[in-house]
Structure 1
């Protein structure tokens, strides 16, 4: 019986509770720092100012006057009645335009462009602080759809998250399973391995956007060839495409996972214990399944965080192309006309990534043992 497994013995964890608690607080603070950075970066668009931050231009119907409009917009004043210019509180131009658009008698409300775009730290700081104050008071932003109805983002966030996770989690699980099976098949059968490696090299060189478009075109041509509806290509009402984002999420991360597992298996197959096992009569397949697969578990858990990040990015691109009103497609959805909730959506995506990172850390702690040499 082989005894090479004796060199992989778990060490006793002698750490006290205080270092563990300290490590936990370190990761919590790191997570909070990440969320703050995402919040600041998601507001970076407010640094580049191309319109007047305290003015708006309106076009009114005959039964409405600027004085009547200012009475319905507290804090606004008439600047130029002939040009239809109003002054509003600093940084509130977009908010006042949105409110004015819902008032009867207002035909159009628009911004007043600057002669030259400028970089304004004041405008950026104003919006970031204003949004942070809103978070503290439970206001996480709103968005306005084509019917001019304002909706709090927290009301739609659970629906968007459920819609996204419906194909994100199955797609990620398929990516892990598919890449693992292909890596094993490529290691067992050399000819098949050359073909899979060739396809892997091709997929590595193709942009994610191009792969998603190919999947979408495949769905369209399948529908045309069969003569009737087969696959939903874009979101229509409450009907959401599943197969296209599902395949996208499964395909792109699996490329990274497969490459890592292929290298890890090749590394293990060159180890002395594999040579000994084969010399004692075990087949290559038995060694792979029974021993090598267990020893590449750490490599799999190491690449999974990066693969999950790739899956989230692929999900966002797929939702944008398919017009899905999920976490990734929300920002550029044609349904959304204006919004103040990009930070919330970005932080929601970050929290999903952090949840998976924490899950992978628990798996590493449970299944990956520390090794030591024995006499």
Structure 2
């Protein structure tokens, strides 16, 4: 019970930290948070405009400067544009960008109050530039992300386990696979994703007709490119861990005894070694899942996919006020997989006297 409470508190602490870090951009100010500038027509005056905007007052009638409540500059710009006789309304730029912890605290407080009132933020639709409530689009984003994230992660586990088994059965094949793994470890994720995209483009060009969807078009979402990215990058980490674990088991006394009794290397791997390296697999899966999520985010951004990762990275999906909600949703997805791995370890791995047995 104490362990469960401790992990729950750790999860809550992680979400709180993510919430504050995802709002850190609000600490950097390039415009005045409490001033706007308006350009008016000849049929009205700055004083009349101020009277129609509660909480505002005239700072400089000649230059059209208005003081507004702190932190409400962008809100008042939107309100001002709806008033008849206004030609233009903008925020007032600062001479030099500054770090304002006051505005950071204001934005965090404003979001928390919004959460309690059911407002989880909005984002700007990249196609029609309209503000959309994130709570309505979040299930769609999650489903879109999971359609290739879960199959890609499962493929990474199966592929890496198979490659590690084959590398342990044939020495020459193992040397080749170890070399490929060392090469892939040194390559950036971005480079691998671009290579996969280029492969899809050249395949389309070579075959002379449409083969693969490269970027998201409307409701049509690319599958193969993010799927291959998620399957390839975590499998490199899992393969390295499983390769070391299998070689460790092959040096144990029970393996030598089994070989002396006539068991082949393949029979040993499948019947005995595979079961004894499950703890190593379940231990590396949390790290591999985190790598898969990072790769998914980069792949979504490059392919223009409006999923959870693409929302955070892609400039086409700039958040208005919902970045923290998306970041916490992505963290909750990662936590769900970590809980699953913990339950699997508890169910299938039994510790007796410091020795793992099945």
TM-score by length of 1: 0.88
String of CA shifts for 1:42-85, please: whole Å, max 9, x gaps: 11111122221112234567777655655664433343344343
Structure 2 counterpart of 1:255: 236
Kept after mapping to 1: 8 A contact 2:30/2:98: yes
Corresponding pairs, count: 354
- Distance (Å, rounded) in 1 between the aligned partners of 2:232 and 2:263: 34
Query: 2:71 aligns to what SS in structure 1?
Result: coil
- Structure-2 separation of matches of 1:101 and 1:336: 24
State the SS of the aligned residue for 1:113.
strand
Change (3 A) 1:41 1:334: closer
Map of 1:246 onto structure 2: 227
What is the SS of the residue equivalent to 2:311?
coil
Does structure 2 retain, via aligned residues, the 8 Å contact 1:142–1:152?
yes
Deviations 1:332-367 (A, max 9, x none): 545545510010000000000010010000000000
CA distance in 1, matches of 2:246, 2:82: 63
Summarize the Cα distance change of 1:65–1:354 in structure 2 as closer, same or farther, 3 Å threshold.
farther
Once the two structures are TM-superposed, the CA of residue 22 in structure 1 deviates from its matched residue by: 1.7
Range 42-51 or range 284-293, more displaced? 42-51
Instruction: Say if 2:300 and 2:310, in contact at 8 Å, map to a contact too.
Output: yes
Residue 125 of structure 1 pairs with residue 98 of structure 2: no
Residue 287 in structure 1 maps to residue 268 in structure 2: yes
Question: 1:170: Cα distance to partner?
Answer: 0.5
Residues 103-252 of structure 1 mapped to structure 2, 5 A cutoff: 108-145=88-125, 147-252=128-233
Distance 1:231 1:353, change over 3 A: same
Q: 1:48 to 1:373 in 2, by over 3 A?
A: closer
How far 1:27 sits from its partner (Å)? Answer: 1.2
Give, in angstroms, the shift of residue 220 of structure 1. Answer: 1.2
1:27 matched to 2:37: no
- The whole-number CA distance in structure 1 between the counterparts of 2:41 and 2:198 is 47
User: Which secondary structure does the structure 2 equivalent of 1:370 belong to?
Assistant: strand
Q: 1:354 aligns with which of 335, 338, 353?
A: 335
Contact kept? 2:31, 2:93, Cα under 8 Å: yes
Give a deviation string over 1:171-198, Cα, whole Å, max 9, x none: 1000000100000010011111111111
Query: Which secondary structure state, in structure 2, belongs to the residue aligned with residue 321 of structure 1?
Result: helix
TM (norm. structure 2) is 0.92
SS of 1:330's equivalent?
helix
The one of 340, 347, 351 equivalent to 1:366 is: 347
* Alpha-carbon distance change, 246 to 301 in structure 1, aligned in 2, over 3 angstroms: same
Q: Displacement, 1:372?
A: 3.0
Query: Runs of 5+ in structure 1 lacking a partner?
Result: 1-20
Q: 1:61/1:277 Cα in 2 relative to 1: closer, same or farther (>3 Å)?
A: farther
Structure of higher RCO (CA pairs closer than 8 Å, 6+ residues apart): 1
Check 1:37–1:101 CA distance in 2 against 1; reply closer, same or farther (3 A cut): farther
Aligned CA RMSD, in angstroms, stands at: 2.2
The 1:273/1:44 distance shift into structure 2, 3 A limit, reads: same
DSSP-derived class of the 1:245 partner: helix
- Partner-residue secondary structure (3-state), 1:186: helix
Structure 2 stretches of 5 or more lacking a match? none
Contact 2:297 2:313 in 1 (8 A): no
